[in-house]
Amino acid sequence: MIRQLRLASGLVMLAYVTTHFVNHSLGLISVQAMDSALVRIYQYWASPLGGVLLYGAFAIHYSLALWALWLRRSLKMPAAEATQLVLGFSIPFFLTDHVLQTRVADTFYGADVGYYANVPHTYFVDNPLRGFLQLVVLVVAWVHAMIGLWFWLRLKPWYRRWQPILYAFALLLPTFAVLGFFEGGRQVMALSEDPAWVAQLAQDHPRAAPADAAILDQMVVWVRYAFVAALLAVLAARLARWRWERRRGVIRVSYPSGRVVQIVRGVSVLEASRMAGIPHASVCGGRGRCSTCRIRVEGAKEALVPPAPEEVKVLRRVGAAPDVRLACQLRPHADLRVTPLLPATAQASDGFRRPGYLHGAEREIAILFGDLRSFTQLSEKKLPYDLVFLLNRYFAETGHAVEAAGGRIDKFIGDGVMALFGLDSGVEAGCREALAAARDMSERMESLNHALIHDVSEPLRIGIGIHTGPAIVGEMGYGSAVSVTAVGDAVNTASRIEGLTKTYGCELVISEAVALRAGIDLGDAPRHEIEIRGRVERLVVRTFARARDLPVPPRGAAKKMERAAAV
């Protein structure tokens, strides 16, 4: 709820700042345009409801910022977080003068600021220092809001697509606002040369009486003191808490590298990592939204406070195992051992919804192996640069064929490729996808050979083998080399089937189980019964001189064959 409140109150204030900036931008047209827009905009913001919304949002946001500062056990944080924090706490300090001298003076001290004629006169003619500070607060507030927005939005799957538009908005609006502010000021400065205009301005928009103005000036000072005092009080309270908690003893958090970090109660594991300078992913800045800080936890049960519902929701989203927790939310009560599950360079996409099988599951899938023929001879005749170029063209074509069919590249090994199909779509669809990928690979190979006709002495040839069966799938690897892969008998068999393309001198060999599962009639494609090392039963395979000659299943045939296979 606190998170939602902070976000909602921040969005209300962002809406206000945005309308304010749009209003400023109109200074590029004229001061009159600014004024007439202001009348419309302030119909809402100056209404009782608008006032409650805006000042309520400020009070909530500021109080929650102090609360968040109190909750933080460490002030070590990435630069973006630190910038947001510092800018956020400086906004009220800068803004106090503007709010008291306009809104409060208007409402309680009989002034009529009349905004766009009077305010630029104050800021550009009477007191340029105030004008400069006002400009600073515009930039400070906007940067603070944009960092907050970035922390929130970059966790959305659509963010990457909209990023250029959002960046353009984030840059252009304040730029136009500042330019409009200056242009409005320039126009008012020109008008101020005329004493009659200045006299009329003073008459139309009276300021607070001198005694009231002195009270307002004094209030500015006291309100600023109050903001600074609130901040210092929280910092002092944190210090006192730290000392008191240290007396209650320390907790040891152990990391896989052997490092042991001593913390006091109440410090989160993410804060422990930051305090010790241990790189730890935290895309959302420790707000419990992104899941990239997730850790595997081992230790006594009493070390762990059960996760809050919000944490459970985030962990469920990524299909986390029961011993996984969010490092930014876990504040251990006793010694424990933790293993960060993502590299420190993890991206927001690592926190998106993830299939449950990533932590290990048995799945029936289709496995495709592909291999370039006569690659060794080819590589002996080529310069390294040419060879890398050639291989990358081949990998690109293969990768496109696999992905276009709905499969997933498992790995490229030397001149070979391993791909998985049906991880999400099921084994029947996976088999059809694998066959479609093989057909496409063959066609792409032909096109590639046309394109490389002057670069290779003889056409590139490929051997493809496809098999289906149960395999253990999951995310495996180490550090940045972690990927989804599959292991098991079916994978080994698929690899051996691919090797048979040499034996039979053909481009594609598939096990009959693949055709059956795919619901495809292979007609009179040659049939062989083979022995596979380690298997008791003989395996029936079908061969194709060219994979692109594979028959395409007629519409509806797949379903019929699936039913037959099920029977």
Question: Which residues bind to ligand FES, rule: CB under 6 A?
Answer: 282-284, 286-293, 326, 328
Q: How far, in Å, CA of 540 to CA of 527, rounded?
A: 7
Place of tokens 């966790």: 155
In the bound complex, what is the minimum distance in angstroms from residue 68's beta carbon to ligand FES?
14
Q: Which is nearer to ligand FES, 324 or 514 (CB)?
A: 324
Q: How far, in Å, CA of 499 to CA of 58, rounded?
A: 69
Query: Are 29 and 197 spatial neighbours (Cβ–Cβ below 8 Å)?
Result: no
Q: Which is nearer to ligand FES, 77 or 141 (CB)?
A: 77
Q: Which is nearer to ligand FES, 137 or 270 (CB)?
A: 270
* Closest of 256, 497, 178, 203 to residue 369, by C-alpha: 497
Query: Are 416 and 370 spatial neighbours (Cβ–Cβ below 8 Å)?
Result: yes
In the bound complex, what is the minimum distance in angstroms from residue 286's beta carbon to ligand FES?
5
In the bound complex, what is the minimum distance in angstroms from residue 337's beta carbon to ligand FES?
19
In the bound complex, what is the minimum distance in angstroms from residue 77's beta carbon to ligand FES?
11
Supply 255's token pair: 């990391």
Q: Which is nearer to ligand FES, 286 or 519 (CB)?
A: 286
Beta bridge partners of 325: 295
In the bound complex, what is the minimum distance in angstroms from residue 57's beta carbon to ligand FES?
24
- The sign of the dihedral angle between the CA atoms of 278, 284, 288, 292 is negative
Tally the residues of the chain: 567
Q: How far, in Å, CA of 217 to CA of 47, rounded?
A: 26
Helix or strand or coil: residue 262?
strand
In the bound complex, what is the minimum distance in angstroms from residue 311's beta carbon to ligand FES?
8
Supply 561's token pair: 């064959």
Supply 74's token pair: 């460490």
In the bound complex, what is the minimum distance in angstroms from residue 343's beta carbon to ligand FES?
14
Q: Which is nearer to ligand FES, 119 or 342 (CB)?
A: 342
Q: How far, in Å, CA of 503 to CA of 80, rounded?
A: 60
Query: Are 159 and 92 spatial neighbours (Cβ–Cβ below 8 Å)?
Result: no
Q: How far, in Å, CA of 238 to CA of 240, rounded?
A: 5
Q: Which is nearer to ligand FES, 177 or 290 (CB)?
A: 290
In the bound complex, what is the minimum distance in angstroms from residue 281's beta carbon to ligand FES?
7
Quick one: DSSP state of residue 508? Answer: E
Helix and strand numbers (H, E) in the chain are 18, 13
Q: Which is nearer to ligand FES, 224 or 317 (CB)?
A: 317
What φ, ψ does residue 417 adopt, rounded to 5°? -135, 145
In the bound complex, what is the minimum distance in angstroms from residue 150's beta carbon to ligand FES?
14
Q: Which is nearer to ligand FES, 237 or 344 (CB)?
A: 344
Q: Which is nearer to ligand FES, 206 or 343 (CB)?
A: 343
Q: Which is nearer to ligand FES, 113 or 290 (CB)?
A: 290
In the bound complex, what is the minimum distance in angstroms from residue 285's beta carbon to ligand FES?
6
In the bound complex, what is the minimum distance in angstroms from residue 61's beta carbon to ligand FES?
20
Supply 20's token pair: 């304010």
Q: Any idea what the Cα angle at residue 321 is, between residues 320 and 322, rounded to 5°? A: 120
Q: Which is nearer to ligand FES, 281 or 506 (CB)?
A: 281
CA 490: distance to chain centroid?
35
Q: How far, in Å, CA of 93 to CA of 549, rounded?
A: 74
- The sign of the dihedral angle between the CA atoms of 419, 424, 430, 436 is negative
* Closest of 126, 127, 169 to residue 145, by C-alpha: 169
